[in-house]
């Protein structure tokens, strides 16, 4: 009976619970002994309502701003803006524009003001910065800038002092009643027995109250400090910034107006700013405005808002407003007061505490009534019902104290809080193992996982990649050392080497820079870094190639197309498109190939079979394969045109080694013995995926390996038969991974954990019961949608039973 009552009234989801469900259990727990303590770690729904209202206001503001901007463009040349007056303190600090003006330009999408101040370059000049070199690192200059424009932090509630917790502990209704009892006891006792004998009982009650209050307050204060430490860990986000001409990683909280920030797909925009340069930038503004349609950002629409996410493309951004000067700062200040959803176990235990509390109160009232009835009966027998003495009053007070004691003992007011604190303790232990739990509910759900859908790259593998095999001009060669690369360079025709270097250094999302120590550093994803390292080993010059060719258009890599393409203007004139990506996809777009003499020849059946065999051979050796190709654009090209998808000439194929993490096989075996099914879902070649899965112990003889396109074509009936047997899914799209997770959860009733690191993993991470994002190489989008961020995956247990989170935790940490 109790179970059905709890399920009906105290049932919430482990994530994304409806507001109705959260409100329902609160109404049933309205009367409690100490609401301040009981509901300390539950969500503040009124603050969430304020945040939702703020989002709606933002959406309307931006909609109006866009309409005004469009109208302004039609007569902007005919309107003269009144002269902007720089505030005196801003001018004295060496700047020519104030924070309010910058905020009104970006937040209001004010094209007129933007043009009036000279566009991006004009505003950069007024901020005393450079769009190429960034800010000067001089401490005095940075401090002056910080005083004028503020810091990139939103206002947080001040740390609660110890005495506030003491005051909250005093709010307990039963302690208040006992306090009244103590006062009455002191008054009656001193009046009848004098001081100090009559004060013993009353002072004893006071001492008990003080002991309970200070023990409770001390415990709560220590736990609040622990939660504050965990909250700081959650907010650690780094971003690529150019300062003093050097590109470096920096905390978003150190950003100042004038900084040049580098954004790529999956990043969260860390402050309000203006687009400087970039390609194909799509911004998701739903977190700020609730608008689901992505916005294209370019030199025509250069406004970037803090808190939004880069859905596609890459760019450089000039920071204009930070912290509480941005709408995101104001929104986050409200959201931070809203708190996290309470966990299912917390809610159920609140229900249990409420039921037990009612039972305890009933028995307390009955006990008090019985004791009073006994005293009255005794007085009736003695004929002294009309005569009441001080001793009788003290006896009645004792009866009342007994009843209150029953309520104190029977009502488990601290039970929900104790569970919260035990979950926080589990979070702390996991944080010591480099696993940051973002949502308390994950600690509950993790131990009951029955299926894990794991990404391959960076999760099962080390994510430290190197090019070890190549096939250029139809000749395969192992290149595991720089000596091999030099040998390859001498074997290939010179035109082919130049073409290869041009392809590697122009068609990349990475960059080769000189760091502050004067050493060469490669920035970008591990795959990009491996290819750039290979290009440098061939004697290539990254900066030289980039300066020789002008980038006309870039289509960054994404998990749907599984390729990256660029169009470059050649030094001698003419246009050329370069493409790289999944080997079979790029090869299918080719109709020509470079032969052993470096000449362009038709891609006949023999050459096609040779390249396919090479790709399969590399993949069967657990190598990640990428194909490089190019096409001459003899008919010209406009930036409005899409980059060609066919007619390419195949330059060659590279095989990239990404070793399996030590201990993965043992972890997978441990999960299997605990009844947890591990599946690999990757965007890689199916042969590569199968080789890695066998090495990890994921793919067994009775398991199925399937490709995403084939999975997509299956009917609902076929999926029901197929999904339980799937152990490997290769060439999967984000939608494939999401579909698999959704079916496992809804159709098969599995508790699903998903691991991933990229933007392509975001839908599945959001859908899963437990989302685990890889903090090492993960994007901010995946980190924000997950329940747990892993900083060092696959730390194996040293003393088996000392781990708290069963095999699921062992696998993913």
Q: Which residues are catalytic?
A: 455
Q: Classify strands 309-321 and 623-632 as parallel, antiparallel or unpaired.
A: unpaired
| Selection from 86, 127, 130, 123 nearest residue 105 by Cα | 123
Q: How far is CA 378 from CA 355, 372, 383, 592, in A?
A: 35, 10, 9, 111
Cα–Cα distance, 774 to 761 (Å, whole number): 11
Give 7-16 contacts, CB < 8 A, sequence gap 24+.
9/351, 10/347, 10/348, 10/350, 10/351, 11/344, 11/347, 12/341, 12/342, 12/344, 12/347, 13/344, 14/343, 14/344, 14/441, 14/442, 14/444, 14/445, 14/769, 15/341, 15/439, 15/441, 15/769, 15/787
Element (H, E) at 338: helix 327-338
Cα–Cα distance, 89 to 149 (Å, whole number): 11
Cα–Cα distance, 668 to 811 (Å, whole number): 7
Handedness of CA 648, 649, 651, 656 (dihedral sign): positive
Cα–Cα distance, 510 to 314 (Å, whole number): 11
Q: In the numeric block, which tokens belong to residue 82? A: 């009144």
Q: How far is CA 638 from CA 112, 470, 641, in A?
A: 28, 34, 5
Cα 759 off chain centre by = 10
Q: In this structure, are residues 629 and 579 in contact, taking their beta carbons and an 8 Å threshold?
A: yes
Q: How far is CA 674 from CA 122, 590, 681, 806, in A?
A: 63, 48, 21, 8
Give 3-state DSSP helix, strand, coil % of the chain, rounded to 5: 50, 20, 30
């Amino acid at each position: 009976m109790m179970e059905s009552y709890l399920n009906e009234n105290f049932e919430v989801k482990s994530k994304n619970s409806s507001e109705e469900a959260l409100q329902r259990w609160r109404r049933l727990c309205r009367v409690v002994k100490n609401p301040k303590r009981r509901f300390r770690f539950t969500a503040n729904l009124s603050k969430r309502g304020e945040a939702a209202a703020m989002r709606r206001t933002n959406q309307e503001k931006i909609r109006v701003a866009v309409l005004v901007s469009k109208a302004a463009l039609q007569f902007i040349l005919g309107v003269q803006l009144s002269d902007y007056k720089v505030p005196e303190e801003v001018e004295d600090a060496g700047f020519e524009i104030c924070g309010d003006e910058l905020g009104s330009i970006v937040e209001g999408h004010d094209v007129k003001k933007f043009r009036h101040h000279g566009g991006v370059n004009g505003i950069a000049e007024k901020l005393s910065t450079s769009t190429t070199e960034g800010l000067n690192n001089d401490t005095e200059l940075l401090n002056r800038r910080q005083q004028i424009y503020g810091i990139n932090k939103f206002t947080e509630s001040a740390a609660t002092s110890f005495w506030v917790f003491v005051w909250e502990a005093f709010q307990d209704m039963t302690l208040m009643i006992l306090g009244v009892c103590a006062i009455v006891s002191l008054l009656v006792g001193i009046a009848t027995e004098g001081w100090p004998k009559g004060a013993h009982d009353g002072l004893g009650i006071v001492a008990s109250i003080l002991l309970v209050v200070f023990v409770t307050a001390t415990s709560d204060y220590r736990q609040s400090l622990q939660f504050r430490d965990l909250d700081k860990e959650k907010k650690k986000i780094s971003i690529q910034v150019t300062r003093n001409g050097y590109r470096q990683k920096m905390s978003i909280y150190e950003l100042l107006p004038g900084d040049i920030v580098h954004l790529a797909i999956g990043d969260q925009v860390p402050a309000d700013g203006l687009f400087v340069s970039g390609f194909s930038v799509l911004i998701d503004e739903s977190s700020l405005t609730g608008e689901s349609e992505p916005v294209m950002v370019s030199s025509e629409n250069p406004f970037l808002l803090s808190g939004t996410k880069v859905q596609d493309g890459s760019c450089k951004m000039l920071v204009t407003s930070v912290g509480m000067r941005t709408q995101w700062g104001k929104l986050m200040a409200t959201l931070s007061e809203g708190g996290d959803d309470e966990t299912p176990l917390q809610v159920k235990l609140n229900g249990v505490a409420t039921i037990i509390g009612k039972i305890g109160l009933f028995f307390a009232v009955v006990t008090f009534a019985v004791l009073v009835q006994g005293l009255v009966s005794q007085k009736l027998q003695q004929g002294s019902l009309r005569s009441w003495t001080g001793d009788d009053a003290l006896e009645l007070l004792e009866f009342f104290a007994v009843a209150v004691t029953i309520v104190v003992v029977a009502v488990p007011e601290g039970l929900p809080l104790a569970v919260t604190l035990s979950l926080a303790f589990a979070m702390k232990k996991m944080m010591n193992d480099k696993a940051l739990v973002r949502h308390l509910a994950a600690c509950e759900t993790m131990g009951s996982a029955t299926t894990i859908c794991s990404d391959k790259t960076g999760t099962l593998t080390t994510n430290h990649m190197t090019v070890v095999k190549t096939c250029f001009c139809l000749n395969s060669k192992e290149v595991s050392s720089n000596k091999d690369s030099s040998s390859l360079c001498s074997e290939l025709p010179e035109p082919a080497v130049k073409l290869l270097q041009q392809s590697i250094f122009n068609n990349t999302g990475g960059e080769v820079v000189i760091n502050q120590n004067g050493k060469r550093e490669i920035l970008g994803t591990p795959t990009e870094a491996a290819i750039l390292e290979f290009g440098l080993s061939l004697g290539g010059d990254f900066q030289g190639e980039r300066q020789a060719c002008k980038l006309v258009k870039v289509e960054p890599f994404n998990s749907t197309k599984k390729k990256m393409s660029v169009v470059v203007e050649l030094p001698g004139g003419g246009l050329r498109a370069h493409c790289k990506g999944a080997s079979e996809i790029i090869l299918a777009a080719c109709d020509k190939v470079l032969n052993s003499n470096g000449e362009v020849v038709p891609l006949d059946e023999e050459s096609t079979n040779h390249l396919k065999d090479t790709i399969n051979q590399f993949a069967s050796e657990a190598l990640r394969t990428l194909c490089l190709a190019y096409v001459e654009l003899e008919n010209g090209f406009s930036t409005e045109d899409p980059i060609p998808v066919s007619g390419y000439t195949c330059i060659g194929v590279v095989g990239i080694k990404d070793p399996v993490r030590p201990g993965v096989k043992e972890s997978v075996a441990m999960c299997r013995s605990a009844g947890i099914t591990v599946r690999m879902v990757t965007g890689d070649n199916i042969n590569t995926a199968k080789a890695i899965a066998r090495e990890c112990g994921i793919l067994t003889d009775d398991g199925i390996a399937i490709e995403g396109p084939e999975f997509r074509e299956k009917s609902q009936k076929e999926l029901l038969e197929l999904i339980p047997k799937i152990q490997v899914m290769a060439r999967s799209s984000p939608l494939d991974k999401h579909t698999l997770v959704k079916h496992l959860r809804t159709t098969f009733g599995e508790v699903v954990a998903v691991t991933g690191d990229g933007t392509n993993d975001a839908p599945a991470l959001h859908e899963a019961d437990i989302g685990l994002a890889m903090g090492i190489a993960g994007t901010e989008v995946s980190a924000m949608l997950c329940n747990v961020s892993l900083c060092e995956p696959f730390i194996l247990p040293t003393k088996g039973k000392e781990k708290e989170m069963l095999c699921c935790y062992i696998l993913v940490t």
